[in-house]
């Protein structure tokens, strides 16, 4: 399958709380990538637009020489249909200078679009002054032989002009404002990259802080493991004893629905309705966590979950395809704490081609402040959202484990701004169908 850059657009923000760009595409099943370069000690709270579900893929932030934060954030979404003059908007936690570039790529894997190599995204950064055209990113490797590799340069000084692509690369965009710039170029690879180095936008002499980042989209791969499909927006209640958790749209018979619920109570116990099979129900400190599943049959209903007492709660349901038709959940693990960080305990897969689901639910006692990174490689991030009031955040990602007995990657996330939050962390193994062996008996 060939690669196509199917459109791009973008914009800049000068001390604003949003940055937006308009994009149009012509093809179906594009992966839409939004790259935001930002300064002035703020973070991207959300990306929205196009009727798409956006997830933060990766980010890199540094404290620059002027004690201001400089960052690159990469977000993505799957566009099943072509987009016509759609506005994509990044919203920030505070006013800042920023650029946003949105580009559409056709030819990527739709379930795990980013190459899973542990070296990615590769980056280099510098906080200081003096000027240099050396923005070299080293150790770049890809696992898939067919990749769409892109490189980003973010600076905290305005170049006063757009830049040109490096030799062998093609420019996607070059934007700048009064306090910085963001530039993107790409190259298509037809064989694996191994330990490569790339001087990103070498023609530009950066007079002060910069971040250079290299990542890659991968061509379609064969998925023997279950795959993530979609989700409904989380449902939230305050001071209640029941919640009706919304179901995702476009449900397909036979697919698996997995629900997660967090209740702000040390005494509540979630009670799931008929048709839903409880996976686990636990209490740590002041939080009750619960999860359950059901299969799509065409007659499934949004689960109405009850508990004793009056408490705040948040629930969500995610849809998966290509799962075991019965008993779809293997190993599980969970954790909860009130802290500036949380660690996910690893689990060991019990069957070949398992999918490890990691769901994190964070609640803040005060105003919303986002500073929690996405799940790291090899996890693919599918959801990264927030709610302003009540202040909450959620993240969901998956990791494929082809071999039974494999230990999943442990994940430790720390709030880079030191904000303490109530974390609930769910980890579950979603099982693939059992593949039967076949043989022939010869009688004679």
**What was the pLDDT predicted at 412?**
79
d(CA 283, CA 45): 29
Instruction: Provide the H-helix boundaries in 227-358.
Output: none
Taking the CA atoms of 346, 118, 394 and 107 in sequence, report the sign of the dihedral they define: negative
Domain ranges of the chain: 4-218, 227-430
Give the pLDDT of residue 66. 57
**Residue 329 class from Cβ within 10 Å (0-12 exposed, 13-18 middle, 19+ buried)?**
buried
Instruction: Look at residue 365 in the predicted model and tell me its pLDDT.
Output: 52
pLDDT for 437: 42
> Which residues is 284 bridged to in the sheet?
287
132, 92, 110, 114: which is closest to 214 by C-alpha?
114
The pLDDT profile of the chain, 444 residues, written as one tens digit per residue, is 699 999 999 998 877 889 999 999 999 999 999 999 887 667 788 899 999 999 999 888 777 655 567 889 999 999 999 999 999 999 987 888 888 999 999 999 999 999 999 999 999 988 877 678 889 999 999 999 999 999 999 988 777 778 899 999 999 999 877 667 889 999 999 999 999 999 999 988 887 788 999 999 999 999 999 999 999 889 999 889 999 999 999 999 999 999 999 999 989 999 999 999 999 999 988 889 999 999 999 999 999 999 999 999 999 999 999 999 999 999 999 988 887 777 888 999 999 999 999 998 877 655 445 456 788 888 999 987 777 666 677 889 999 999 999 999 888 777 666 667 788 889 999 999 987 543 344 443
Q: Say how far apart CA 119 and CA 14 lie, in whole Å.
A: 33
Task: Please tell me whether residue 307 adopts helix, strand or coil conformation.
Answer: strand
Query: Is the distance from CB of 27 to CB of 82 less than 8 angstroms?
Result: yes
Q: Report how far residue 387's alpha carbon sits from residue 196's, in angstroms, rounded to the nearest whole number.
A: 40
- Cα dihedral 281, 283, 284, 288 in deg (nearest 10): 90
> Residue 233: which of 321, 317, 358, 319 has the closest Cα?
317
Q: Are 282 and 252 in contact (CB under 8 A)?
A: no
What does pTM read for this prediction?
Answer: 0.88
- pLDDT at site 439: 39
pLDDT of residue 62: 79
- Residue 195 and residue 140 in contact, taking contact as beta carbons nearer than 8 Å: yes
């Amino acid at each position: 399958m060939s690669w196509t850059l199917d459109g791009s657009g973008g914009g800049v923000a000068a001390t604003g709380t949003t940055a937006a760009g308009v994009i149009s595409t012509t093809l179906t099943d594009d992966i839409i990538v939004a790259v935001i370069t930002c300064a002035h000690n703020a973070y991207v709270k959300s990306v929205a637009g196009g009727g798409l579900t956006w997830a933060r893929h990766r980010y890199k932030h540094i404290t620059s020489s002027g004690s201001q934060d400089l960052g690159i954030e990469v977000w993505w979404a799957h566009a099943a249909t072509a987009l016509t003059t759609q506005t994509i908007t990044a919203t920030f936690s505070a006013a800042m200078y920023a650029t946003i570039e949105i580009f559409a790529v056709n030819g990527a894997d739709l379930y795990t679009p980013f190459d899973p190599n542990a070296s990615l995204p590769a980056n280099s950064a510098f906080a200081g002054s003096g000027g240099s055209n050396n923005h070299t990113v080293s150790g770049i490797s890809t696992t898939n032989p067919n990749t769409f590799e892109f490189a980003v340069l973010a600076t905290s000084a305005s170049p006063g002009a757009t830049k040109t692509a490096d030799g062998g690369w093609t420019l996607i965009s070059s934007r700048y404002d009064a306090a910085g710039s963001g530039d993107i170029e790409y190259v298509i690879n037809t064989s694996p990259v191994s330990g490569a180095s790339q001087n990103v936008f070498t023609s530009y002499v950066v007079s002060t802080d910069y971040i250079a980042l290299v990542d890659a989209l991968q061509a379609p791969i064969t998925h023997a493991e279950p795959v993530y499909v979609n989700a409904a927006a989380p449902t939230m209640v305050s001071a209640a004893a029941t919640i009706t958790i919304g179901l995702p749209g476009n449900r397909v018979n036979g697919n698996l629905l997995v629900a997660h619920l967090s209740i702000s109570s040390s005494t509540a116990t979630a009670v799931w309705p008929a048709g839903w099979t409880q996976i686990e129900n636990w209490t740590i400190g002041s939080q009750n966590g619960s999860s359950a599943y059901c299969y799509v049959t065409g007659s499934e209903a949004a689960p109405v979950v009850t508990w004793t007492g009056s408490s705040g709660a948040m629930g969500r349901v995610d849809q998966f395809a290509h799962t075991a038709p019965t008993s779809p959940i293997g190993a599980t693990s969970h954790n909860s704490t009130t802290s500036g960080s949380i660690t996910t305990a690893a689990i060991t897969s019990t069957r070949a081609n398992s999918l490890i689901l990691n769901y994190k639910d964070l609640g803040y006692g005060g105003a919303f402040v986002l500073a929690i990174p996405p799940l790291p490689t090899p996890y693919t991030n599918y959801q990264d959202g927030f709610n302003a009031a009540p202040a909450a955040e959620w993240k969901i990602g998956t990791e494929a484990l082809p071999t039974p007995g494999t230990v999943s990657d442990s994940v430790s996330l720390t709030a880079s701004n030191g904000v303490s939050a109530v974390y609930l962390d769910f980890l579950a193994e979603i099982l693939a169908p059992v593949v039967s062996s076949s043989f022939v008996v010869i009688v004679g």
